[in-house]
Amino acid sequence: MFGVCVSVFCFLLVLASMTSGSVEEENPEFWRSAAQNTLRSALARKINTNVAKNIVLFLGDGMGVTTITATRILKGQLQKRSGEETVMNMDTFPYVGLAKVYSVDFQIPDSAATATAYLCGVKANLNTLGVSAAARNGVCRSQKGNEVTSILRWAKDAGKSVGIVTTTRVQHATPAASYAHSASRTWYSDSDLPSSAVTGGCVDIASQMLRNTDIDVIIGGGRKYMTPKGFPDPEYPADLSAQGQRKDNRSLIDEWLSMKEGKVARYVWNKRDFDAVDPEKTDYLMALFEPGDLRFDVERDPSMDPSISETTEKAIQILKKNPKGFFLLVEGHQLTNNQSIKRITNH
């Protein structure tokens, strides 16, 4: 099915390339005038020398140059144009740069090593997160002494509020690299730790989320890594795969709430309770909408799970109350799949 969808998409691109441009595009002066306007705009730009108070890092998982180009073209075609001339919001930014992230030990990187690169500022080995390249994939004993901190921790140490919004499980590679140190990105809960990691004293990612950094807002999925093994999921009580995974019989959700004594802390797992959270009266928020990753956006039940724009807005409303500012990591991951490609190409 995916091959068919891609073929349809490519066919649309071919059709678009066969169509002629507008009459104005046939005139050389049109392009020269556009270039002059762009140049004048750049020369007239005033340099912003202010120090940033707030930082929001938006991360589109897998969103490289080719993906952005394809998006730009498709957006234009859906608007009955050829596509290449489309200007997206990000194209209007005054400053744009490229960052090269990769694994030290592997040709093709993964989200753990790359997240460590752009969040912590150091390159790491494949499947490792929050540690330097001296730590080895899956080797617990190599973690000690090789931990590296992230911009989320730096912001917290500077007195700012910090938050994570993701459409994956909050223990997934990208968000986890902001708070955890692990020789394996797959050690979500203690049940995922091999015996060598247990005897070596390594701690699972979900536990580290509570103890490493005081995170003000945590929004995403990953309920089953926070509750005791066999604990029924509130949304899918009959689904065995959604049950709690923890062998240590801990409820990290309850522990998180008890750690916030004296503060207004809210835990929610559905949109109704999420919408009821008053940002002005909330100090801490943990919202876990699925046992694992959130659903793809085209499959999302809007009555149960808010959109990424809704969760990001609520996070900012809570974090911005800090007069020293905030840092917020927003990851868009579960936004498309083969079914969404099919729906787009059928337009």
Phi then psi for residue 261, to 5 deg, are: -55, 130
- Which residues, 6+ apart, have CB-to-CB distance to 152 below 8 Å? 119, 162, 164, 178, 179, 213, 215, 327, 329
Burial of 167: CB neighbours in 10 Å, binned 0-12, 13-18, 19+: buried
- For residues 195 and 138, is the Cβ–Cβ distance under 8 A? no
- For residues 335 and 297, is the Cβ–Cβ distance under 8 A? yes
Name which of 231, 234, 220 is nearest 285 in CA terms: 220
Name which of 159, 174, 148 is nearest 62 in CA terms: 174
Residues annotated as part of the active site: 111
Look at residue 110 and give its three-state secondary structure: coil
Cα pseudo-dihedral 191, 193, 198, 203, rounded to 10: -90
Look at residue 217 and give its three-state secondary structure: strand
- For residues 298 and 343, is the Cβ–Cβ distance under 8 A? yes
The DSSP line for 244-255 is --BTT---HHHH
Residue type, 203: V
Hey, which bits of 87-240 come out as E strands? Answer: 161-169, 217-221
Residue 52 to residues 69, 92, 164, Cα–Cα distance (Å): 29, 20, 19
Q: Which helix (H) or strand (E) holds 266?
A: strand 265-268
Show the CA angle centred on residue 291, arms to residues 141 and 266, nearest 5°. Answer: 95
